[in-house]
Structure 1
Amino acid sequence: MGVDMRHEHADHGAHQGHQGHSDHEGHHGHAGGVTWGMASSATLHCLTGCAIGEVLGMVIGTALGWGNLATIALAVALAFVFGYALTMRGVLKAGVGFRQAVKVALAADTVSIIVMEVVDNGVMLVVPGAMEAGLASWLFWGALAFAFAVAFVVTVPVNKWLIGRGRGHAVVHAYHH
């Protein structure tokens, strides 16, 4: 979108002291203070929304007997919907308008969700028989859990890099109280 969300929050002072950062550090990429814990937390938040959508999409597609492509398309679409919805929920609670909350969610989660979806769906496709196993199969659920774990491990460094540059979940921090 090209919108820099770091400077859109009217009350920059609300962020001062968040996780021990000054206002300047908090709005300019956490200047050297991005920890693996921060990146893991952002990734876990993203994974939660993605997992809800992904599981729902996989369940619906598999239950309806859809092919891999249609099932994955639905799962990915729902992963984005639920991922953005979780972020928007918190931002809306902070009193931000709907349009601005959409912008914040898009800026905060898009790259993370893309990486997560590419990785976890790729894993599901390469685990032999996982997509065809069916909802009652341990293979299906085990492969899906494994796919989420791999996606988490791959996405954490991406989120650390993004937050360190004032992008990704760094744009949401201004709205946390």
Structure 2
Amino acid sequence: MDHAAHHPARAVATWAMAAQATLHCLTGCAIGEVAGMVIGTALGLHNAAIVVLSVVLAFVFGYALTMRGVLRAGVGLKTAFTVALAADTVSIAIMEVLDNAVMIAVPGAMDAGLTSLLFWGSLAFSFVVAFVLTTPVNKWLIGRGRGHAVVHAYHAHH
């Protein structure tokens, strides 16, 4: 094998591509975060358990959204899952650290309850922070043929 085979091709990565990839990941994260917060609060779980549940669901929904598009290209479930892992893991992980750090850092946000403007405002703000700080990471990843760049090969098959 030649040296080039060990390194993914560099792709042109625009800010628009990075923003779109980040928004895609953020959609799954937001669905999981909100579901985790609602379910955890409804069950009366401790804040730490709510955070864990939210993070797990953010990954589940984030991967599921990516897999849905890749499966439409006619690949198998195992390949779709592998593509989702490669495309989304770094982005979702960064967003989850940021989302939860903001929620924990805002005094009273985690204990404010689902009917509180403080809770929902803090959560919305955490999503903005996650989007702004993760977009440059996604641009860097796409430019190196990683992250959401791996998904584009499967979208081309439609």
Measured after TM superposition, the shift of residue 149 of structure 1 is: 0.4
- SS of the residue corresponding to residue 167 of structure 1 reads coil
Asked whether the equivalents of residues 63 and 135 of structure 1 are also in contact (C-alpha less than 8 Å), the reply is no
Partner of 1:28: 9
Say whether 1:111 aligns with 2:90. Answer: yes
The one-character-per-residue Cα deviations of 1:124-158 (angstroms, maximum 9, x if unpaired) are 00001000000000110000000000000010001
Distance 1:66 1:29 in 2: 45
Question: Cα RMSD between the aligned structures?
Answer: 1.1
1:58 touches 1:75 (CA, 8 Å); kept in 2?
yes
CA separation in 2, counterparts of 1:125 and 1:29? 37
Paired amino acid for 2:85: L
Indicate whether 1:85 and 2:64 are aligned. yes
| Cα distance in 1 between the residues matched to 2:10 and 2:111 | 44
1:135 and 2:114 are equivalent in the alignment? yes
- Could you tell me how far apart the structure 2 residues matched to 1:174 and 1:161 are? 18
1:169 maps to which of 136, 142, 148: 148
Identity among equivalent positions (%) equals 73
Distance 2:101 2:32 in 1: 16
Give the alignment's TM-score, normalised by structure 2: 0.92
Q: Partners in 1 of 2:69 and 2:149 — Cα distance? A: 14
TM-score, with length taken from structure 1 = 0.83
Instruction: Map 1:4-23 onto structure 2 (within 5 A).
Output: none
Distance 1:157 1:87 in 2: 20
Aligned equivalents of 1:129, 1:118: Cα separation in 2: 18
Query: Could you give the per-residue CA deviations for residues 74-115 of structure 1, whole angstroms, max 9, x where no partner exists?
Result: 000000000000000000001010000010000000000000
Q: Distance in 2 between matches of 1:126 and 1:168?
A: 28
Deviation string, structure 1 residues 42-89 (Cα, Å, up to 9, x no partner): 000000001001100011111222111100000000000000000000
Q: Which runs of 4+ in 1 moved over 4 A?
A: none
Instruction: Give unpaired runs (5+ residues) of structure 2.
Output: none
Q: C-alpha distance in 2, partners of 1:93/1:52?
A: 21
**Shift, 1:29, TM fit:** 2.4
Contact 1:29 1:170 in 2 (8 A): no
Instruction: State the partner residue of 1:74.
Output: 53
